[in-house]
Amino acid sequence: MNYRIDNLQYCNWSREVFQINREAQLDAVHVTIVYHEDYKEFLKKVEEWDVHFKENKDLIFPGKNYKDIEKAKSEKKTAIFFGFQNCSPIEDDINLIEKVYEKGCRFMQLTYNNQSLLATGCYEKNDSGVTNFGKEAIKEMNRIGIVIDMSHSAEKSTLEAIDISEKPIAITHANPLFWHSAIRNKSSELLKVLSESNGMLGLSLYSHHLKDGTNCSLESFCEMAARTADIMGVKNIGIGSDLCLNQPDTVVEWMRNGTWTKTKNFGEGSKKKPGFPKQPDWFIDARGFENLKKGLSKIGFNNKEVDGILGGNWFNFYKGIN
């Protein structure tokens, strides 16, 4: 059975977006439900998604485990898995980890760019590693079945999280540094350690993570995927597009600034280009998976490997969550 999974989207959710994901034949999508929100604000986001599920039950339903991906495939729907881009919803209470799990959370980043109560973000000057609270949080996440996501974390913190976790972790949306030197991209050394622990990397289609940005070519992206497979093994890579379809620029401002600063932070953008960057023309939305399929095949991946990158590898990873 071939599965198609995008393991990170943060779109302006609507029926149109859900229809596009179905046109792309996505069996599962890991969606960002919060960035800087606390626990009560997270619950409000869950309520908003309850409305989406009710109004679009012919297209989507909440995913809890890999069996829901199988169900989505058979019913021609998309299973939606909740994830956090930050640990803010658990506040400073380890008991909230189980509560957010019960509400559907299956992925949680320990940091979002900055230092958190759990670990160090990739934008910090000094990486102090996983904190005492972070170590306990990882154990609790392992116990109940929430994946540790280190997409926005610094290198030392990520290596420590891999070592501490008894289950494989994920970097759901990033690319290798050898291809493009974005702050958020990851070193070859880290990716090798990630693969040795059976962890997963979701290759990002967000323009700030791409060589040549919006002008990145499909061929260049697929060549990068091939080199990454040489480092990690093809079974440890998938897609985490980081697609922010139809989002207004006010949202990227919230992502970068939250409530932690009064000084405008431009993150991977700039004062001249503060908003969302344009997508490359071969991946405007999830229907670009078809272009990825062609490009990966052309670069030399066989059919089994292509199917794995486009979803099968993530499916196997999901089977090991619980």
pLDDT tens track for 243-295: 999 887 777 776 667 777 877 766 676 666 667 789 999 999 999 999 999 99
Q: Can you give the pLDDT at residue 276?
A: 77
Distance CA 61, CA 80 (A): 6
Q: What share of the chain is helix, strand, coil (3-state, %, to 5)?
A: 45, 15, 40
Write down the pLDDT at residue 261: 80
Domain boundaries, the chain: 5-319
Query: What CA–CA distance (Å, rounded) separates 295 from 179?
Result: 17
pLDDT at 269: 65
* pLDDT tens by residue, 196-239: 999 999 999 999 999 999 999 999 999 999 999 999 999 999 99
Q: What was the pLDDT predicted at 272?
A: 67
- Report residue 118 as tokens: 């759990």
Overall average pLDDT of the 298-316 stretch: 98
CATH code for the domain defined by 5-319: 3.20.20.140
Burial of 293 (0-12, 13-18, 19+ CB in 10 A): middle
Contact (CB, 8 A) for 99 and 40: no
Q: Collapsing DSSP states into helix, strand and coil, what is residue 203?
A: strand
Dihedral angle computed from the Cα positions of residues 280, 281, 285 and 288, in that order, rounded to the nearest 10 degrees: -100
Q: Per-residue pLDDT for 137 more than 90?
A: yes
Name the band, by pLDDT with cuts 50, 70 and 90, for residue 322. low
What mean pLDDT do residues 60-67 have? 98
Q: 113: left (phi > 0), else alpha (psi -120 to 50), else beta?
A: left
* Residue 270 confidence (pLDDT): 67
CB 110 within 8 A of CB 130: yes
Whole-number percent of the chain with pLDDT over 70: 96
List CB contacts of 287: < 8 A, sequence separation 6 or more. Answer: 20, 23, 24
pLDDT of residue 59: 98
Bridge partners (DSSP) listed for residue 243: 9
Looking at every residue in the chain, the average pLDDT score rounds to 94
Q: State the DSSP code for 126.
A: S
Backbone region of residue 203 per phi and psi (left: phi > 0; alpha: psi in -120 to 50; beta: other values): beta
| pLDDT at site 83 | 98
Q: What residues are paired with 108 via a beta bridge?
A: 84, 148
**pLDDT score of 151 more than 90:** yes
Cβ neighbors of 263 (< 8 A, separation 6 or more) are none
Cα 241–Cα 315–Cα 230 angle in degrees, nearest 5: 65
- Confidence (pTM): 0.96
**Do residues 74 and 2 make contact, with C-beta atoms less than 8 angstroms apart?**
no
DSSP 8-state secondary structure symbol assigned to residue 197: T
Radius of gyration (C-alpha) of the chain in whole angstroms: 18
